[in-house]
Structure 1
Amino acid sequence: MTHVDQAAILLMSLGERDAAEVLKHMGPKEVQRIGAAMSGLSNVQQADVQSVMQHFLEDARTLTGLGLGADNYIRNMLVTALGEDKASSLADRILMGGNTTGLDTLKWMDARSIADVIRNEHPQIQAIVVAYLDADQSAEVLTFFTEKVRIDIMMRVASLDTVQPSALQELNDILEKQFSGKGGSQTKAMGGYKVAAEIMNHLDGGIETELMDAIKEVDEDMGNQIQDLMFVFENLKDVDDRGIQMLLREVSSEVLIVALKGADGELQDKIFKNMSKRAAELLRDDLEVKGPVRISEVEAAQKEILTTARRMADAGEIALGGSGEQMV
């Protein structure tokens, strides 16, 4: 079982009230992943439940505090993951008494709904929303706009530095939500080349290439600066050996074989070097006997590995660095 599966079993075992108390301290992505795992549970063996409980108790004994501090809440995601009947009561318990800002509320919505909310708004408002959301969510939102609108939004995201309180208040008015706490008069740091690069990293290969080419046509310097900050599959050669070894433990051999079909010799050698001699020999043999693979399959495998690498980097397990070029 994965850690997410174990968390799902634990929460389902706790019961609705206690599960709600735990979930309300998690962020949107965590709740989405666990909620999806909960909805997929079926025929769980008693031995699995006992194993999860035992591991939880062992881990709990080593902790001096839970470190809880987040105060985000769930609605649309849990309904989507568990269904209306299962989720309604649980969502009500989590949301009861909570205050969620307009922008934070968007993080609980699916990408299509977010796109619909901002579709007819000023491009600068659209850019603020896209810059505020997590990069993978922003990338999905952009897929629901035309190429022309995507270019405009991304260039505005890259050009953002700080946002005036009046702009944030305007966005709140649009969402019919008020920010919690005092508005204050300080500007908020938002957007920039790095945010644009992170969003570009999460776009599908074809959309990413078209968008980057279009941005460079309008502002070549901006496009180059965004590209320099992007992390693509070939940049894995810049990850240290320990990081590669940890990443390989999280990637299946089938996905790795397909991904390496589109990698250059230097990166392949980097991967081989960080495997046992026997494992490296087997991987070389598999690559040699593997027939032609569609570019779309290679890109999908590489994207899966990059998603894992970014997740591990966000968790502080590995360090990513370097810049890359578009692969062919």
Structure 2
Amino acid sequence: MNAMTQIGEPPELKKFSGLQRAAALMLALGQEHGAPIWQQLTTEEIRELSSAIAQLGRVPAAVVEHLLISFSGEVSSMSTLHGSFETTERLLAGMLPDDRVKEIMEDIRGPSGRTMWDKLSNVSETVLAAYLKNEYPQTVAVILHKLRSDHAARVLSELPRDLATDVVMRMLRMDTVQKDVIQQVEHTLKSEFMSNLSRAQRRDPHESMAEMFNALDRTTEESMLTALDARAPESAEKIRALMFTFDDLGKLLPTAIQVIVRNCNKRELALALKGATEEIKTLFLSGMTERAAKLLRDDMAAMGPVRARDCEEAQGNLVRLAKTLGDRGEIILADPKGDEAVIY
């Protein structure tokens, strides 16, 4: 887009960055004419361009006209192009020695093709880090070396500090990784991590519904479950069993309560406990220092009467915080269905 001709530019064009110009052009081309271009973009490029389109706002007609004229002028002056692994390899073969071309193409594709590393780059850093923290530091270093730097950085920040430091030291000392090492790592990732991830992603729809119901206010939640009782009683029972509610926080270990207290908004905690049972109030207050517990009691007393809806909203936020901490592995959330099982 930066190569577009500067002749006859409308003054409004200066306000648009290169990405915004590309977004405006793709919006103007529409679904039919833009589809061939979208198909050539990577997932990351599609995300970036889609985000720019969503935030574009109004584009003056003069700018749209200029972008279309410039684009059609450039396209008409060149022959049809098609980028692929094969055309890339042919291009490099005319400039570099065979062994260098082979090395570069294997780095792009990966010894087993690029699908493996493409899939890995789309895995959440939290999920990937949870798997890697049990691997040898050298293996982790090889994998992070193959990931995009921004994704590798996010994964690194999720690893335990000592392991992360060890991995960084190994990455600093790493020379060119041998092909058989990469193949072995890819095989392990495919057979263990990706296959397990695929199975884990085939979730029971009742689990997703339970999470959604957890996010509802209590009145709506009870209304929906009552309606579901009449139409699909078995499903309603499964959803209730899978839901993690504010009352279930009372089953957490004292250490988990302490972590929640350290991470929560104290005003919201006071509001949540205002409408809680005495057992849960005692549990949370016992997880605090004597001074902090006294301050919280004072805050609750100073609130006076509060709306039940506000208490329920604060309790819902506390449940969501607990589940987030569970996702990070900082606490263990007891499964309402059993004393021994865990859901995180």
Shorter chain as normaliser: what TM range?
A: 0.3 to 0.5
Bigger radius of gyration among the two: 2
TM-score, structure 2 as length reference: 0.41
More helix by share: 2
RCO (CA 8 Å, sep 6+): is it higher in 1 or 2? 1
